[in-house]
A and B are shown apart, each in its own frame.
Chain A
């Protein structure tokens, strides 16, 4: 498991020392996604829920005439739901799933900035002492006193989730 994770980490950095990312907040935690996969940042849009879908991608939105799924990372990480605020945004990303590009929106509480992460400050997710599924996380990058979480979207999007409610993973 640890080896596999180390490999995933390497994949993310691909030998690079720095990574340009967009940071955002969900439920008080800071996350980061590589900037080049981000297509657009939107204000909240009317959502249409999809009955029977995985709760984590339980809705679709109209993104410029395309119908794209809206993902809620909180549910994947089993975090508490938060009410939408004036800062809430949707980040539209394009990632590859099974070799096909897929557009998806991610609901966030606040979008911070585009910044640079240093490979030297990154660590693979610890195998113990964490509430989240370790394979959902690419790496943790230390900045100041806090950690920025770089989620592994490929794994999150292709993982099997509970169909109904969130999967509680309190550890």
Chain B
């Protein structure tokens, strides 16, 4: 096992931290008084600064330091949290990302501007608080006793900087307790045997002491005792510091002599919980894919085994085979779960996007997300990000009206975008709903006609009309903004969703808003399929697309020589003879079967020789040498080791429609 590049590891970590910071900031923006979020953001910034400096990202550490300082002041109640501050730090956060990604780049100028913004945001609102800071707050004498675990130094904790940080807080008297040092022959030089007693006279609150130990808090023993308030300021110049002092005073009294492990300060329990929840192992996605391949092969080998076992009279063999079958089934299910990640990750980035879009467009937009715990295959999530960005942008830019228009239309001033995910059978449905003006059908039609997408006065259902907006180069926005309207984007959505074997459904009510639902299969790796035989070849039809199977009666078969239609409950369904399509050159089975498949609203029958049954299909991609064959979306390996091809239903339906069009033209 090779060790990953530490810089790369830091980058991944930093990316996560930045995301946490952003989430915290956005939560804070909603509720400026939320002390927990202030602490969370501060912790994130603090960690980022620390590990940044450790990995040599000096510029990042220096820059982050300023943001951290700003938040430290908010945390201590010296300055209030404001929207301006949140925006400034959000921008700063983006810059931090740049500093993480290209530490060598020229960031000086940007840093300066952002820091100036930040200073302005902090001081502009904090004049009164700032003056109170200068009014020398009370000094308190703390008695601190702390000891670190024996293996602390081996784990990379150095107690000396901790002592230095304590010294920075105020006047310090530090005494080392050496009673723990064993006799020389028992001394392990890498272990830590010393603990410390510190008397600290400081104007800082108790939480400042906890902050010194923030990274080692979970493992150490820390006892903080407040001895006396040395100099209480008689005048109450500003309310803020007094309030802080009072809360600080109250806290140590309660936990005066107990150790921090028993009664830790506010941030500690959260940290401990987070540490527990995050006992994760980072695994590269490709390793998971590899494992998935192996599991797929195991499933195949297992089904060969059960065939063999089924054919033999050996009962022991059968028992073993059944065990293996159960185990490999469980293994496969576990494997699938491993690849599933909640959509939270995907949704969280839209909060920022909507925040920015609201600023850019001058609209007031509220984003509501729902069903974040819905889990989807990781590769699906990654590929969904882009289409969703386009859709959300589109809703913000085209869908929602300006506040004035909204008020005039009798709606609330703020527009709402509702992003939700839910699981339904083998699919995950992601819905983007807005309460804006809805899609203007007349304009879509006019635009489609003028650009030649549809014939003038063509009769289209609403759904067909809405689908037109996903055509390349299509945009009804009369004004091109830098958000959307260029006509790129929506076709990207369509293409990506098609590639994911998903479908798009659009509902729109004029004046009330529109709703776009994406239905995506949960996983790309395994599908339930219907195994059929055409000639000598076996093929898999994705079961999600199969509507029903029926026998092609001899009369229908004969009659349909001229027209390839069957009537199915009063509607005509065109069908394709796969035997002809695949040029099997074999004699057809006497009773042909029809598998009716559908994508969205279109239905097509596929005529096959035999329906073998359902089949759990591990999808293997087609080789590059076969990328020109559109009829198949992949291949799979059957129980007997043979390869079966997986039909691309969308393509077949398109083919069926073409045929239908030809027939209509001919008839």
B644–A48 CB distance below 8 A: yes
Q: Smallest CB–CB gap between A165 and chain B, Å?
A: 11
Report the separation of the CA atoms of residues A57 and B623 in the bound assembly, to the nearest whole angstrom.
10
Q: CB-CB < 8 A to A112: which residues of B?
A: none
Given A51-B581, A51-B582, A62-B637; A69-B626 close (CB under 8 Å): yes
Q: In the complex, what residues of B have CB within 8 A of residue A68's CB?
A: 623
Tell whether B596 is near chain A: CB-to-CB under 8 Å: no
Which residues of A sit under 8 angstroms from B87, Cβ to Cβ?
none
Cross-chain contact B623 with A62 (CB below 8 angstroms) = no
Partner of A50, one of B300, B632, B636, B641: B632
Chain A residues within 8 Å of B300, by CB: 65
Report chain A residues within 8 Å CB of B620.
Answer: 66-67
Q: How many residues of B contact A (CB 8 A)?
A: 29
B631 x A52 contact (CB < 8 A):
yes
B106 at the interface (CB under 8 A from A): no
Question: B442 within 8 Å of A by Cβ?
Answer: no
Tell me if A50 and B626 are in contact (CB < 8 A). Answer: yes
On whether the beta carbons of A67 and B296 are closer than 8 Å, the reply is no
Give residues of chain B (293-310) contacting chain A, Cβ–Cβ below 8 Å: 293, 296-297, 300
* Cβ of A68 to closest chain B Cβ, rounded Å: 6
In the docked arrangement, what's the CA distance between A64 and B583, Å?
Answer: 29
Q: Which residues of B contact A61 (CB under 8 A)?
A: 643
**B625: interface (CB < 8 Å):** yes
How many whole Å from B655's CB to the nearest CB in chain A?
Answer: 11
Q: Mark out the residues of chain B between 598 and 629 whose CB falls within 8 Å of any chain A CB in the assembled complex.
A: 620-626, 628-629
Chain A residues near B582 (CB-CB < 8 A): 51-52
Looking at chain A's contact residues, the main secondary structure is strand
Q: Cβ of B635 and Cβ of A60 under 8 Å apart?
A: yes
Give bound CA distance, A46 to B620, whole Å: 17
Complex-state Cα separation, A65 to B643, whole angstroms: 9
- Measured between beta carbons, the chain A residues less than 8 angstroms from B297 are 64-65
- A residues less than 8 Å from B622 (CB atoms): 60, 67
Residues of A within 8 A of B630 (CB): 52
Contact A57 B626 (CB under 8 A): yes
The answer to whether A51 touches B583, judged by C-beta atoms less than 8 angstroms apart, is: yes
Q: List residues of chain A with CB within 8 A of the CB of B293.
A: 65
- Complex: how many Å from CA A149 to CA B273? 69
Among candidates B296, B625, B641, residue contacting A46 with C-beta atoms closer than 8 Å: B641
Residues of the B chain whose Cβ atoms lie less than 8 Å from the Cβ of A66: 620
Interface string of A16-52 (1 = CB under 8 A from B): 0000000000000000000000000000001011111
Q: How far is the CB of A161 from chain B (nearest CB, A)?
A: 10
Closest to A158 in B: B625
Chain A residue contacts of B583, Cβ below 8 A: 51
Other-chain residue from B538, B625, B645 in contact with A157 (beta carbon distance below 8 A) = B625
Contact A54 to B628, CB < 8 A, known contacts A61-B643, A65-B300, A102-B623: yes
B interface with A by C-beta (< 8 Å)? 293, 296-297, 300, 537-538, 581-583, 620-626, 628-632, 635-637, 641-645
- List 19 contacting pairs A-B, 8 Å CB cutoff, sorted by A: A48-B538, A48-B644, A50-B645, A51-B537, A51-B581, A51-B582, A52-B629, A52-B630, A52-B631, A53-B626, A60-B622, A60-B626, A60-B645, A62-B641, A62-B642, A65-B293, A65-B300, A67-B621, A67-B635
The 6 closest A-B pairs by CB, nearest first: A51-B582, A65-B297, A48-B643, A67-B635, A67-B620, A69-B623
Chain A residues proximal to chain B, CB less than 8 Å: 46, 48-54, 57, 60-62, 64-69, 71, 97-98, 100, 102-104, 157
